[in-house]
Amino acid sequence: MSTADASLPPISRNTRLFAIGALAVAATAFAVITFGGLGENLVYYWNPTDLKANASKAVGATIRLGGLVAPGTIDFDGTNRLAFSVTDGKEQVLVKATGVPPAMFRENIGVVVEGTMTTEGHFTSSRLMVSHDNEYRVPEDGKPVDTEALFKSVLAAEENQ
Amino acid sequence: MIAYLGQTLVLLALLSAAAGSVLAFTAGVRHSEDALRWTRRLVYAFAALMIGANLLMEFALLTHDFSVSYVAQVGSRATPTWVTIVSLWSSLEGSILFWGAVLGLYLAAATWWSRNRHPEVMPWALGTMLACAVFFSFLIAGPANPFHHVANPLADGPGANPLLQNHLLMVIHPPTLYLGYVGMTVPFAFAVAALMGGRLGPDLLKSLRLWLLVPWAFLTMGIVLGGWWAYEVLGWGGYWAWDPVENASLLPWLTATAAVHSILVVERKGLLKGWTVTLVLSTFLLTILGTFMTRSGVFNSVHSFTQSDIGPTFLGFLAFGLIFSVLLLAARMSLLESDGRIEDVKSRETFFLVQNLIFVALTFTVLIGTVFPLIVEAVKGVQISVGEPYFNRMALPLGVALLFVMGVGPALPWGKATKAEALRALVPPAASGLVLALVAFVFGVRSTWLLLTLFAGGYTLQVTIKEMFLPVQRRLASGRGSAGQAFGSLLGAGRRRFGAYVAHLGVVMVFIAIGVSSTQKVTHETTLPEGASTQLGAYTLTYLGSEERVEPHRRATVAKVALSKGGERITVLEPRMNHYFTRREPIGTPAVHTTLLGDVYLSMMSIDDQGRLGLRAFLEPMVVWLWIGTAVIVLGAALAMWPRGSTSRVTARAAAPATTEEAAT
């Protein structure tokens, strides 16, 4: 057991400087890495219209693209390659996915695909989430899809897919 | 009828807690023995009323009394009895009610345990505990009341969320987590008492340590059980996704783990008193933040089945707790003076401090990543989230550093060490680290981080085992007593120390399991017609066909997939898709073949109209060591916290005065 401060030899100047310096360096590095890491690893929640509007930063960014599976666009090779288009009623984006589509996957169902935009102009994804809700049917002509509600519904069940 | 009786019980509990809290603080100011005695009685009354209210709810659930609002919400005549029993915590109102019972149990137990200990600070501790009890019973009585009376009850209800009915782990995961979360109220109260009393003496420190370790062990178990449940049920082949709700449970665990260690430094060196108290206060606040995030539906996640409007109430309590803690720390922390200081960098206490700083860095990392999307959404109205790569990238180096420090710290002595002593302690364990990393390299592992993890793991393993049996070695070397007696002392006088190293052993297992399973996982997705096979690593998977099974509350589509290796059939796995009659969407249940080296994990995606199976298959190496390692950690914690019996203390003292913890560590 150590006793009160008074009985200890004084802390050497070097030790103190070393400790303060090390702490300052560590704290700064930590802050830089943390906020840098945050900025690089954001996931954007976009519908096809948002995606078109942000085309410049879409390539390489992690995006969760939400919308409906456009009718007549599903193309499945029978094993694990899947292509279809996602629409929000205004814009449409071609999605190429690897993997087996989940049981509920069909035309006009709400989906969220996670992936990124390629330079060839299609969206590539390895994660497909399907809405379990009845509410997200094809909207009447001219009405946009409520993608915000779609995100909530799909992501609530996301880990189940 | 039951609804009104339930409401009465909850209101009486609220009354007991409120009266008790006021009485306790009065006792603190006036130093009144009588008031303190009555406070204790009110704690017991609160506990009894809360437990009574829970039993009443169970009764209502089991008798399908749909005139009680909570039963109408989660009950169903079609569900099996075990589901009915556990649906007490399957939804928001019920889980808060259950929380009340757990809180009652903890408060009563802590009050009983400390009935003859540190009486000078007990009024503050009891008053704080009861103030928290006031908040929760208010929540149950008002915003989250499960005992509303339903005027025209239906004949049947929708039943609990099918995800929750899908696996037995769901029965134990939430209560374990609650035992962790709620239990943090007690160390919080002791920390407040230390600040109010201006002293963190040995008695109070002992109470703080015990009542922190108990919920810490439950929290550890609860977090891992949650991962295990996700792994066994959700079908995406993982156990951790940095989901906001998972993070919510991890945050208080990080600060609590730091505190469990810094308490040792307070005990041994009289250092870090204010720091420890701050960690304990933060832990409690983080449990409240966690509950808020889990229960208010601010996040989209698998847990958001419990959306409700209790958010503002929780946020209010959180804000109050935060302001109270900060003010209390500002006013009183200077009273908790250090009895010394760190004398040498090459000492065990230095590395306790380093370990604590890493834990705090991890806490900030996870906290920032978790709440950042909320802030962006509130400020800019843009919906974003922080991806897993952020968390992995941040947690990986910190985690490896932590694993390494776990070896370096215990290898060094307390106080001072000469350069030669330090080198003698620090160099040899590198052998085990190098061997482990080399073996992995020979087997084809090229991931730098995994190799580093294995090196740190091996290093720490060697230190841990050496330290674990150091008392035995010393006893045998000194020639006192037999080998049996020497080993017996590990469970006697040295049990606390031994338990701590057992827990470290478990941590090494968990780290290595995480490192290997996250870097060496194999994923394969394909579509198989009946009779077709596919290759997964060394295994061959053959789709044998599917069948329909009807159970009272669900219908299941079961795929039969034969698993063989080297032409020999090992087993037939049955991933399935469950259709609950009360829900529209199907819920998949994966099939897992577990071995000590790795799991084969099959998840059914779909069966199409031509009868082809959409299959997602994973090879998950070493995952089982996560669960084994956690069991070892909890065993270690149990050994370390179990109160020493008077007999073992006497014999140990008589037999080996030199081999107490003091001398051995």
Among B385, B394, B416, B521, most A C-beta atoms within 10 A, so best to mutate, is B385
Among A30, A126, A160, A161, most B C-beta atoms within 10 A, so best to mutate, is A160
Distance from CA of A155 to the nearest CA of B (A): 6
Position B152 scores a pLDDT of 85
Q: Is B369 on the interface with A (CB under 8 A)?
A: yes
Interchain contact, A1 vs B269, CB within 8 Å = yes
Interchain contact, B368 vs A34, CB within 8 Å = yes
Q: Which residue of A has its CA nearest to B237?
A: A159
Express each pLDDT in B350-390 by its tens digit: 999 999 999 999 999 999 999 898 888 778 877 788 988 89
Position B163 scores a pLDDT of 67
Dist. CA B44–CA B21, nearest whole Å: 13
Q: Is B588 on the interface with A (CB under 8 A)?
A: yes
How many degrees, rounded to 5, is the angle at CA B17 between CA B13 and CA B23?
145
Pairing outcome for strands A92-98 and A123-130: parallel
Dist. CA A114–CA B255, nearest whole Å: 33
- What is the overall mean pLDDT for chain B? 89
Query: Picking from A99-113, B108-122, B174-188, B423-437, which range would have the lowest pLDDT averaged per residue?
Result: A99-113
For the cut 90, the answer to whether the pLDDT of residue B293 exceeds it is: no
B640 band by pLDDT with thresholds 50, 70 and 90:
very high
Q: Which of B638, B22, B585, B549 is nearest to B305 (CA)?
A: B585
User: Which chain B residues are within 8 Å of A33, Cβ to Cβ?
Assistant: 394
Position B633 scores a pLDDT of 97
Interchain contact, A1 vs B268, CB within 8 Å = yes
Position B174 scores a pLDDT of 87
Position B305 scores a pLDDT of 42
The two tokens of residue B489 are 């002392």
| Residues 139 through 178 of chain B touching chain A, CB cutoff 8 Å | 163
Interchain contact, B390 vs A99, CB within 8 Å = no
Averaged pLDDT, B324-342: 88
Residues 6 or more apart whose Cβ sits within 8 Å of residue B376 = B382, B384
ipTM value for the complex: 0.78
Interchain contact, A38 vs B235, CB within 8 Å = no
Distance from CA of A83 to the nearest CA of B (A): 15
Interchain contact, A151 vs B300, CB within 8 Å = yes
Q: Is B343 on the interface with A (CB under 8 A)?
A: yes
In sign, the C-alpha dihedral spanning B163, B165, B168, B172 is positive
Q: Which of B254, B247, B251 is nearest to B303 (CA)?
A: B247
B303 band by pLDDT with thresholds 50, 70 and 90:
very low
The two tokens of residue B390 are 């952020």
Interchain contact, B390 vs A41, CB within 8 Å = yes
Interchain contact, A155 vs B341, CB within 8 Å = no
Position B299 scores a pLDDT of 61
For the cut 70, the answer to whether the pLDDT of residue B663 exceeds it is: no
Query: Picking from A87-96, B77-86, B196-205, which range would have the lowest pLDDT averaged per residue?
Result: B77-86
Among B166, B242, B294, B300, most A C-beta atoms within 10 A, so best to mutate, is B300
Residues 6 or more apart whose Cβ sits within 8 Å of residue B609 = none
Express each pLDDT in B56-96 by its tens digit: 999 999 999 999 999 998 888 888 888 889 889 888 889 89
Interchain contact, A43 vs B607, CB within 8 Å = no
Q: Is B340 on the interface with A (CB under 8 A)?
A: yes
Distance from CA of B303 to the nearest CA of A (A): 7
In sign, the C-alpha dihedral spanning B486, B491, B495, B500 is positive
Position A11 scores a pLDDT of 63
Interchain contact, B394 vs A37, CB within 8 Å = yes
Q: Is B339 on the interface with A (CB under 8 A)?
A: yes
Position A132 scores a pLDDT of 62
Dist. CA B311–CA B305, nearest whole Å: 14
Q: Is B234 on the interface with A (CB under 8 A)?
A: yes
Distance from CA of B172 to the nearest CA of A (A): 20
Q: Is B364 on the interface with A (CB under 8 A)?
A: yes
Express each pLDDT in B513-552 by its tens digit: 999 999 999 999 999 999 999 999 999 999 999 999 998 7
Averaged pLDDT, B339-343: 79
Interface contacts A/B by beta carbons within 8 Å:
131
Residues 6 or more apart whose Cβ sits within 8 Å of residue B598 = B517, B619, B620, B621, B622, B623
Position A63 scores a pLDDT of 92
Q: Is B34 on the interface with A (CB under 8 A)?
A: no
For the cut 50, the answer to whether the pLDDT of residue B660 exceeds it is: no
Q: Which residue of B has its CA nearest to A115?
A: B387
User: Which chain A residues are within 8 Å of B587, Cβ to Cβ?
Assistant: 160
B337 band by pLDDT with thresholds 50, 70 and 90:
confident
Interchain contact, A101 vs B605, CB within 8 Å = yes
B423 band by pLDDT with thresholds 50, 70 and 90:
very high
The three-state (H, E, C) secondary structure of B83-120, written as one string: HHHHHHHCCHHHHHHHHHHHHHHHHHHHHHHCCCCCCC
Could you say which of A3, A104, A161 has the minimum Cβ distance to residue B340? A3
Averaged pLDDT, B417-427: 91
Amino acid at B72: A
B123 band by pLDDT with thresholds 50, 70 and 90:
very high
For the cut 60, the answer to whether the pLDDT of residue B304 exceeds it is: no
Are B106 and B182 a contacting pair, CB within 8 Å? yes
Interchain contact, B389 vs A15, CB within 8 Å = no
pTM: 0.90
Position B613 scores a pLDDT of 93
Could you say which of A2, A42, A105 has the minimum Cβ distance to residue B269? A2
Distance from CA of B392 to the nearest CA of A (A): 10
Could you say which of B361, B385, B616 has the minimum Cβ distance to residue A100? B616
User: Which chain B residues are within 8 Å of A101, Cβ to Cβ?
Assistant: 605-606, 614
Interchain contact, A78 vs B606, CB within 8 Å = no
Interchain contact, B525 vs A100, CB within 8 Å = yes
User: Which chain A residues are within 8 Å of B372, Cβ to Cβ?
Assistant: 38
DSSP-assigned letter for residue B238: -
Q: Is B413 on the interface with A (CB under 8 A)?
A: no
For the cut 80, the answer to whether the pLDDT of residue A147 exceeds it is: no
Q: Is B360 on the interface with A (CB under 8 A)?
A: no
Position B57 scores a pLDDT of 97
Query: What distance separates the 2 farthest-apart alpha carbons in chain B?
Result: 82
Q: Is B449 on the interface with A (CB under 8 A)?
A: no
Q: Is B383 on the interface with A (CB under 8 A)?
A: yes
